[in-house]
């Protein structure tokens, strides 16, 4: 091994590439991941965080070599085993000045990350960041849940960014996230599988798939969060989002050794919060909807109406409301087998309802909520699969799902097992963002998961109209004022409008006061697809000037904002030039870090230069 390392080093010296010029790698970020081990879900995390400037490959890919790695400032390595040759390649890359982030790194890479592997693993646990670390600016100091496998490591030369605990109240501290300097380069190791933890936090416990767990009639997505899967004291943190922000902090701090990186902002324009409103139409006629829709429209809000009984709705009525910006979509009914939904029957329910909607109204069904939130947890072979419903929706052309909701009334679990009601309700999925589902192995499913946080039936049965409003206000306020960002989905049945009218109107008035728009699900879907399609390319850094092309081919009526760190080392942004013209930019503090913001019209390409001095 020593002889091999010496030979490789001499070979590199002869090539004259012992290090690559600081900041001049051709591309910013390389993902070395696969569709197993949740590695590929890192793509969805980076897109959510706005880093649309990465390339994806596999560590065993035919093109992956030391020379290839040196085209990138930063490599992110998914959970995987490495060969001795791959270990040497990664070591030489970092030693020569490269930056490396890894999730549960192979024990052979321990020296790179300044850790020693103890050959022990455990499942579940907590992390708590070091708020004094530059990597953790703006991250909550509270202990946060992690799901899935983690490794027990011993700290060697590395520095702890986040501590890890096997149990919430345990005193024994393990390294959870560690930074290190190796040669001329820098590394960060997440000693748990971050993408897997994000998926499990958002989607629930896979071993509960297809099983009635909470005693509420019908298998639903909420059954996946039973048996203490959720530490409800953390619901107001959006703890999955906090950990994605920790990854962002690591990327940005490692980029401090090379060049500043642009990101896309989470929301349309420069908003800090957004609401979505929908209505399960059940068996209602047109007249049953009218007053609620008139009231909503008068407040400047819009609503998605999920129609179950298509025969009771005319095309002319649907066209009247879609012309006003409302959405008509499908409400498939598989309640006949709610206690044991099967792949084939659910597939048929989706197909039939989609056909009814599309043939009658001429509207393609792109967003979906099932009657009773019935959630298929079995694949086509009858095996457990917590993402089976999402895969069925993808198969049927549905692009956004709203079947996860806050409802835990009269369950066999501890009271309010999904969390507190009212102001402190929060998001039990650990996230305020709308992101795509992942499969059992972590590959991305092209269906967005939109969580229905503010659910009228929960508060109606609790006889708590004020709590219904306060739950909305709490999530909005945390998004606006505490950087615990959320897209807040409200469900308001017209069947329960006798209860929800007053608190719903208060929500819409509050949203108007705070300049929080209330959209349909399809409008949100179109924005997210536009944001995810846009990208940064041709990024270069020379003489304190950053140059890049912002590519966007999908038009949208809302603006797309990008953001840049104001400070890079000891220099700050002084000028921002777009297509040869100086542009004024806004300075905003996001999670304790100052950014320069600029909003552009999507659907165009832009040449951008940013001067630092």
CATH of the domain at 497: 3.20.20.370
Q: Give Cα separations from 244 to 90, 138, 146, 380 (angstroms).
A: 24, 12, 12, 33
The answer on 560 and 524 residing in a single domain is no
pLDDT band at 278 (very low <50, low <70, confident <90, very high): very high
Q: What is the pLDDT of residue 25?
A: 72
The radius of gyration of the chain's CA atoms, rounded to the nearest angstrom, is 25
How far is residue 351's CA from residue 494's CA, in Å, rounded to a whole number? 25
pLDDT band at 184 (very low <50, low <70, confident <90, very high): very high
Is 309's pLDDT higher than 80? yes
Domain boundary among 475, 505, 529: 529
Phi, psi at 44, each rounded to 5°: -65, -35
How far is residue 45's CA from residue 603's CA, in Å, rounded to a whole number? 23
- Across the range 367-375, mean pLDDT stands at 98
Q: What is the pLDDT of residue 23?
A: 57
Is 600's pLDDT higher than 90? yes
Of 571 and 3, more confident: 571
pLDDT band at 171 (very low <50, low <70, confident <90, very high): confident
Q: What is the pLDDT of residue 120?
A: 87
Max distance between CA atoms of the chain, in angstroms, equals 82
The answer on 493 and 584 residing in a single domain is no
Domain boundary among 172, 192, 212: 192
- Across the range 273-295, mean pLDDT stands at 96
The answer on 316 and 460 residing in a single domain is yes
- Total residue count of the chain as it appears in this document: 613
Q: Which of 304, 306, 294, 356 is nearest to 325 (CA)?
A: 304
pLDDT band at 170 (very low <50, low <70, confident <90, very high): confident
How far is residue 95's CA from residue 27's CA, in Å, rounded to a whole number? 19
Q: What is the pLDDT of residue 118?
A: 85
The answer on 309 and 186 residing in a single domain is no
The strand ranges marked E within 390-534 are 400-401, 435-438, 444-449, 454-455, 487-491, 518-519
Q: Which of 483, 487, 490, 451 is nearest to 469 (CA)?
A: 490
CB 552 within 8 A of CB 536: no
Domain contains 231: no
Domain contains 256: no
3-state SS, residue 499: helix
* Residue 122 DSSP code: E
Domain boundary among 139, 165, 192: 192
CATH number of the domain that residue 602 is part of:
2.60.40
Q: What is the pLDDT of residue 15?
A: 37
* Residue 166 DSSP code: S
How far is residue 579's CA from residue 607's CA, in Å, rounded to a whole number? 5
Q: Which of 494, 495, 501 is nearest to 468 (CA)?
A: 501
pLDDT band at 1 (very low <50, low <70, confident <90, very high): very low
* Residue 384 DSSP code: B
pLDDT band at 104 (very low <50, low <70, confident <90, very high): very high
- Across the range 213-238, mean pLDDT stands at 97
pLDDT tens for residues 517-528? 999 999 999 999
How far is residue 37's CA from residue 58's CA, in Å, rounded to a whole number? 12
- Among residues of the chain, what percentage have pLDDT more than 70? 96
Q: What is the pLDDT of residue 419?
A: 97
CB 546 within 8 A of CB 539: yes
The answer on 162 and 24 residing in a single domain is yes
Domain contains 240: no
pLDDT tens for residues 21-69? 455 677 899 999 998 899 999 999 999 999 999 999 999 999 999 999 9
Q: Give Cα separations from 84 to 81, 91, 109, 157 (angstroms).
A: 10, 10, 10, 22
Is 17's pLDDT higher than 60? no
Q: What is the pLDDT of residue 119?
A: 81
- Token digits of residue 180: 């290190």
Q: Which of 294, 287, 344 is nearest to 324 (CA)?
A: 294
Q: What is the pLDDT of residue 389?
A: 98
Q: What is the pLDDT of residue 24?
A: 63
Is 436's pLDDT higher than 50? yes
The answer on 297 and 434 residing in a single domain is yes
Domain contains 252: no
pLDDT tens for residues 400-422? 999 999 999 999 999 999 999 99
- Across the range 71-75, mean pLDDT stands at 97
Is 399's pLDDT higher than 70? yes
How far is residue 426's CA from residue 404's CA, in Å, rounded to a whole number? 14
The answer on 283 and 134 residing in a single domain is no
Instruction: Provide the CA 178 distance to its chain's centre, in angstroms.
Output: 23
3-state SS, residue 152: strand
Q: What is the pLDDT of residue 35?
A: 87
Domain contains 331: yes
- Across the range 217-221, mean pLDDT stands at 97
Q: What is the pLDDT of residue 269?
A: 97
The answer on 175 and 67 residing in a single domain is yes
pLDDT band at 259 (very low <50, low <70, confident <90, very high): very high
pTM higher than the cut 0.85? yes
Quickly list DSSP for 400-467.
Answer: EE---B---TT-SSSTTTT---GGG---TTS--S-EEEE-TTSPEEEEEE--B-EEHHHHHHTT-HHH
Domain contains 211: no
Number of domains in the chain: 3
The answer on 511 and 407 residing in a single domain is yes
Structural domain boundaries enclosing 166: 2-192
* Residue 64 DSSP code: -
Average pLDDT in the chain: 95
Handedness of CA 424, 428, 430, 434 (dihedral sign): negative
Is 334's pLDDT higher than 60? yes
CB 568 within 8 A of CB 256: yes
The answer on 548 and 512 residing in a single domain is no
3-state SS, residue 321: helix
Residues linked to residue 449 through DSSP beta bridges, in sequence order: 401, 435
The answer on 335 and 428 residing in a single domain is yes
Q: What is the pLDDT of residue 18?
A: 45
| Strand 72-77 versus strand 27-32 pairing type | parallel
Domain contains 297: yes
Domain contains 173: yes
Q: Which helix (H) or strand (E) holds 468?
A: helix 465-481
- Across the range 10-15, mean pLDDT stands at 38
The answer on 340 and 382 residing in a single domain is yes
């Amino acid at each position: 091994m020593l002889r091999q390392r010496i030979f490789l080093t001499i070979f590199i010296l002869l090539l004259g590439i012992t290090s690559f010029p600081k900041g001049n790698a051709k591309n910013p970020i390389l993902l070395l991941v696969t569709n197993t081990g949740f590695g590929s879900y890192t793509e969805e995390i980076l897109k959510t965080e706005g880093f649309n400037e990465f390339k994806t490959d596999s560590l065993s890919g035919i093109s992956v070599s030391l020379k290839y790695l040196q085209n990138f400032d930063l490599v992110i390595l998914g959970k995987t085993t490495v060969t001795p040759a791959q270990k040497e390649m990664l070591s030489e890359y970092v030693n020569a000045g490269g930056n490396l982030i890894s999730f549960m790194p192979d024990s052979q890479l321990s020296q790179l990350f300044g850790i020693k592997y103890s050959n022990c693993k455990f499942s579940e646990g907590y992390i708590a960041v070091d708020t004094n670390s530059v990597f953790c600016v703006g991250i909550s100091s509270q202990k946060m849940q992690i799901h899935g496998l983690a490794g027990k490591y011993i700290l060697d030369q590395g520095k702890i960014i986040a501590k890890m605990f096997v149990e919430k109240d345990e005193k024994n501290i393990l390294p959870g996230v560690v930074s290190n300097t190796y040669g001329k380069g820098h590394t960060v190791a997440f000693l748990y599988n971050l993408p897997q933890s994000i998926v499990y936090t958002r989607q629930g416990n896979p071993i509960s798939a297809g099983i009635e767990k909470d005693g509420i009639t019908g298998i639903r997505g909420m059954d996946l969060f039973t048996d203490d899967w959720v530490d409800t004291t953390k619901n107001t943190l959006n703890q999955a989002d906090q950990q994605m922000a920790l990854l962002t902090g690591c990327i940005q701090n490692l980029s401090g050794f090379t060049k500043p990186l642009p990101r896309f902002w989470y929301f349309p324009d420069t908003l800090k919060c957004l609401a979505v409103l929908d209505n399960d139409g059940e068996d209602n006629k047109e007249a049953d909807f009218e007053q609620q829709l008139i009231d909503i429209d008068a407040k400047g809000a819009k609503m998605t109406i999920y129609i179950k009984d298509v025969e009771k709705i005319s095309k002319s009525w649907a066209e009247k409301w879609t012309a006003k910006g409302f959405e008509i979509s499908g409400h498939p009914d598989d309640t006949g087998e709610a206690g044991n939904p099967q792949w084939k029957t659910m597939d048929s329910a989706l197909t039939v309802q989609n056909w009814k909607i599309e043939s009658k109204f001429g509207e393609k069904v792109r967003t979906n909520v099932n009657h009773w939130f019935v959630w298929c947890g079995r694949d086509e072979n009858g095996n457990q699969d917590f993402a089976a419903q999402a895969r069925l929706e993808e198969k049927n052309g549905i692009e956004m799902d709203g079947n996860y909701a806050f409802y835990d009334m009269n369950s066999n679990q501890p009271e309010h097992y999904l969390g507190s009601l009212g102001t402190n309700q929060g998001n039990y999925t650990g996230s305020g963002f709308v992101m795509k589902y992942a499969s059992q192995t972590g590959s991305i499913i092209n269906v967005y998961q939109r969580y229905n946080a503010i659910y009228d039936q929960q508060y109606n049965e609790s006889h708590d109209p004020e709590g219904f409003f306060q739950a909305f206000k709490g999530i909005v306020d945390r998004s606006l004022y505490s950087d615990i960002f959320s897209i807040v989905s409200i469900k308001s049945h017209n069947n329960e409008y006798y209860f929800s009218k007053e608190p719903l109107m208060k929500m819409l008035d509050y949203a108007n006061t705070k300049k929080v728009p209330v959209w349909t699900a399809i409008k949100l879907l179109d924005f997210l697809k536009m944001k995810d399609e846009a990208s940064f390319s041709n990024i270069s850094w020379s003489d304190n000037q950053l140059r890049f092309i912002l590519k966007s081919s999908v038009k949208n009526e809302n603006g797309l904002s990008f953001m840049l760190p104001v400070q890079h080392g000891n220099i700050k942004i002084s000028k921002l030039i777009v297509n040869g013209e100086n542009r004024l930019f806004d300075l905003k503090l996001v999670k304790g870090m100052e950014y320069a913001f600029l909003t552009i019209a999507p659907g165009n390409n832009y040449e951008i230069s940013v001067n630092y001095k």
